[in-house]
Amino acid sequence: MSREAYSSGQTVNTGTRSPGRPSRRLTELPTVDKSPSREYGARGSPLAMGSPYYRDMDEPISPAGGGHHRSRSATRAPTHSMEYPREQLRTRYQSLDRGLVDPHDREFIPIREPRDRSRDRSLERGLYLEEELYGRPPRQSPGHLSMPDRGYLGDLQVQNNELQRELGNLKKELDLTNQKLGSSMHSIKTFWSPELKKERALRKEESAKYSLINDQLKLLNSENQKQAMLVRQLEEELRLRMRAPNIEMQQQMEALYAENEHLQREISILRDTIKLDEFRLEIQRRDQEIMAMAAKMKTLEEQHQDYQRHIAVLKESLCAKEEHYNMLQADVSNERQI
């Protein structure tokens, strides 16, 4: 909302308009600076009855245009031009205290939301009503406003509603942007976490494995398709040859049959030779066993002969011992007889 400074030389007059004072426009909304540092005098307060806003209302309305007193409608635009564009309405709000206070004493007023401004305006209206009830004559109550003033207030109310609607839309957009910003910040914070790094590495490895497996599957599928095509071609060739046999095929078949018979004969001969070889091996093994048994028999016979010789020697020694024993007995008997 743009505010235009009034001239600092304005003073409160008693009931006439000076030619040098700028006239107040219909579309200018009176606002009050409510900062605690502002202190108004008895005649310098924008809420006082002597302010320029109420001073214009206190001026007498005369149908004639002569003299120093002019009607309020003389300085106001005609009724058919009350519907101003929104851009002009937005730029025509001014403060009442700009021309009454020194610009050096004026402090910075922060721009408030339309809701706060509408609240300030409602408070100002309440203050104006109180001043009208207690400090102004009954003829200047808001119920006696002219039709252009009512149209002006209606336009201001419509503009206030539009501003409230725009404020709601802007708040919704702000909430959406805050949500998007929060989600983006959360995603940024969680993007560089070690767990997500591990997950991304695992996903990359899995994607690489899957790509390799897919390549291998593609190669195998292509090879299978080639093999299937070859098998189909061979089957078709075989069917064609079986349907239309040729002399060459018959000769080849006869040669194959002859070769098969020859191979079967050779196989039978080989089987016979294998059997003979097996028999020969058994005979050789048996001969070796017989030779081993013969050698054992020879050794046993030699041992038997040795045992017999030993027995004969023992018998001879036994006979000699018996003879010696008999001789000793004979000698003993002879000695006894003597």
Question: Model confidence over 125-150: pLDDT tens digits?
Answer: 554 544 444 444 444 444 555 666 77
The angle subtended at Cα 293 by Cα 292 and Cα 298, nearest 5°, is: 100
* Bridge-based pairing state of the strands 94-95 and 30-31: parallel
Q: What is the pTM of this model?
A: 0.23
HEC string for 41-109: CCCCCCCCCCCHHHHHHHCCCCCCCCCCCCCHHHCCCCHHHCCCCHHHHHCCCEECCCCCCCCCCCCCC
- Residues near 293 by Cβ (< 8 Å), separated by ≥ 6? none
Asked whether the beta carbons of 23 and 117 are under 8 A apart, the reply is no
Indicate the length of the chain as a whole number: 338
Rounded CA-CA distance 16/12 in Å is 10
Tell me the residue type at 241: R
Tokens of 139: 């003829």
Q: Strand locations in the chain, DSSP E?
A: 30-31, 94-95
For 101, residues 6+ apart whose C-beta sits below 8 A from its C-beta are 38, 40, 44
The residue with greater pLDDT, 44 or 238, is: 238
Contacts of 82 (CB under 8 A, 6+ apart): 26, 148, 151, 152, 155
Between CA 248 and CA 255, with CA 254 as vertex, the angle to 5 degrees is 90
Least confident interval from 126-130, 166-170, 285-289: 126-130
Q: Which residue has the higher pLDDT, 87 or 335?
A: 335
Q: Write the CA distances from 249 to 38, 192, 238, 256, 260, integer angstroms.
A: 124, 76, 12, 10, 16
Confidence of residue 10 (pLDDT cuts 50, 70, 90): very low
Residue 120 banded pLDDT, cuts 50, 70, 90: low
CA distance 184 to 2: 36
DSSP 8-state symbol, 47: T
Query: What does residue 247 show for φ and ψ, rounded to 5 degrees?
Result: -65, -40
Block residue for tokens 């058994």: 282
Highest mean pLDDT among 11-20, 97-106, 125-134, 270-279: 270-279
